[in-house]
Chains A and B, each alone.
Chain A
Amino acid sequence: MSWITITPTLHHSSTPGLILMLLPRFQYHEPATLAEACRMMAELGGGVRPIAGGTDLVVNMRRGAVAPGHVVSLGRIKELCAMHLSGRTLRIGACCTVASLAGSSDIASQFHALNEGALSLGSPLVRNLATAGGNLVTARPAADLPPPLMAYGGTVTLQSSQGQRLVPLDQFFVGPGRTVMEPSEILTSIALETPSPFSGSSYIKLGTRRALEISIVSVASCLTLERPGGRIQSARIVLGSVAPVPMRAEDAEKNLIGEIPSPPLFAEAAKVAAGESKPIDDYRGSAQYRRDMVSVLTQKTLQAALERANASE
């Protein structure tokens, strides 16, 4: 926790420990429609930031890391706040809160790993504000929603006044804090396909405490069997906090396809996943510890996913 500092100047690069008593001044806009929001983002140019839950932007302003001239609120745009399952596609509006994901019965019944990811993000106080879209666009390597969303092959919709494009989450993140989004684009929704029958998934976050924690390592796995007790038809393993962006362990996935699931098979895949990860040393953990934990969490999530796949209809 930091000291409270009263400062009359704006710090555009974050100074460790700095907490501004007053947020920097900005003009606030509250469009009622997406079209209006897109127009504002285009017209207001470089000094504009969208705000949804505000749990990142307000903190970054408070720390003096950003001082946008204009803030465009997305929170009153109804279509961004809706979540619905139609056919096999679950569409999550970017402004759906993390608490609403954690409380969704569609997600709890068909997207276990996403339910677990939502429940492990921040604290109840943060989950009631933080949004699904916000957890993606900030592109933190340790964010809790990207691994499960990528494990289901999620795709995001980006909208600007120029038009709309779809980007698979696999190709969305570029580096810490960086995505393929243009400054004028708004992430409007995330679409997931309901896993095929005989699928199961799991997300495990490793931290030193259970709330308000930034992951040391996190892993999401999703398995589909050809039938209960049968061979593995498809597998996705996504690693968080062990690379500049959330990453798929593709070689580990390949090791699983077409095989009969077993503890030795999962142990081998876990070893491969650990080898694929690219962790760094920092104060939360060493690279070697993280690599070892990738292996442990990969095995645990695969085992949990298998049990859920065998229990599914």
Chain B
Amino acid sequence: MKKTIHITVNDKPFDLEVEPNQTLLEVIREKLCLTGTKAGCLVGDCGACTVLVDGKPVSSCLILAVQADGKQITTIEGVETPQGLHPLQTAFVDKGAVQCGYCTPGMILSAKSLLDRNPRADEAEIRKAISGNLCRCTGYQKIVEAILSVSRTSP
């Protein structure tokens, strides 16, 4: 039996009819067509499906869409501002922190959530914050450097 949920995604409100067995990940990708959120392992191990729910990073493959009713959700598509790319996105490009790109949306959202709470986060805090996001290409160094470059320049 379908349920109606009300969620806000990237500041836009949506009323959606969802099946109880649909995850938030499926609804974001297939109903809202926001395919920046990636489907990886589907069992909460890889972090490719990271979104922010009320500002906190979570694996969207582990949440039923019905559980997200009433929540504020940010996906990678909501990170860019009217002025252009978010500083984290610019830093990932500049520092070569993207290779295949599959982990990138999750990495940027985990990093954004950290810097929103703690704009001057140090390297150890950054490594902890992205510890649930797996990258198989870069060895993490360039990702950490990109995030660190934003935290160093924050006021």
The residues of A with any CB-CB pair to B shorter than 8 Å are 1-2, 4, 19, 22-28, 30, 51, 53-55, 58-59, 61-63, 71, 73, 75, 99, 122-126, 128-129, 210-212
Contact = CB atoms under 8 A, between A and B. Distances in A.
Given A25-B21, A26-B21, A123 B58 contact: no
25 contacts: A1-B45, A2-B41, A2-B43, A19-B42, A23-B22, A23-B23, A26-B20, A26-B21, A27-B1, A28-B66, A54-B64, A55-B44, A58-B62, A59-B43, A59-B44, A71-B20, A73-B67, A124-B132, A125-B57, A125-B59, A125-B133, A128-B56, A129-B59, A129-B62, A211-B128
B63 interface: yes
A282 B61 CA distance: 29
Given A58-B62, A125-B110, A212-B131, 8 more contacts: A27-B1, A28-B20, A55-B44, A58-B63, A63-B43, A122-B44, A125-B47, A211-B132
A209 to B, nearest CB: 9
Considering the complex of A and B, which 4 residue pairs feature the smallest CB-CB distances, nearest first? A123-B132, A28-B20, A211-B131, A125-B132
B51 to A, nearest CB: 10
Which of A58, A59, A61, A62 neighbours the largest number of chain B CB atoms within 10 Å of its CB? A58
Contact of A124 (B42, B43, B63, B129): B129
- Main secondary structure on B side of the interface with A: loop
Interface residues of B, number: 33
A293 to B, nearest CB: 22
A24 B19 CA distance: 11
B37 interface: no
A210 B128 CA distance: 9
B89 interface: no
Nearest to A73: B67
B46 interface: yes
A291 to B, nearest CB: 29
Which secondary structure dominates where chain A touches chain B?
A: loop
Contact of A25 (B19, B43, B129): B19
B151 interface: no
Interface in B1-41: 1, 3, 19-23, 40-41
A212 B59 CA distance: 13
B120 to A, nearest CB: 18
Q: Which of A1, A51, A128 has the most CB of B within 10 A?
A: A128
B150 to A, nearest CB: 18
Contacts of A27: 1, 20
Given A73-B67, A129-B63, A19 B50 contact: no
A62 B66 CA distance: 17
B44 A4 contact: no
A217 to B, nearest CB: 21
B147 to A, nearest CB: 14
Interface string B122-138: 00000011011100000
Nearest to B109: A125
Given A19-B42, A55-B44, A124 B128 contact: yes
B64 A28 contact: yes
Contact of A54 (B46, B63, B131): B63
Nearest to B39: A4
Nearest to A123: B132
Residue from A28, A73, A212 with most neighbouring chain B CB atoms (10 Å): A28
A9 to B, nearest CB: 15
A28 B3 contact: yes
B143 to A, nearest CB: 15
A197 B108 CA distance: 44
A59 B132 contact: no
A25 B47 CA distance: 25
A62 B43 contact: yes
Contacts of B133: 125
A210 B58 contact: no
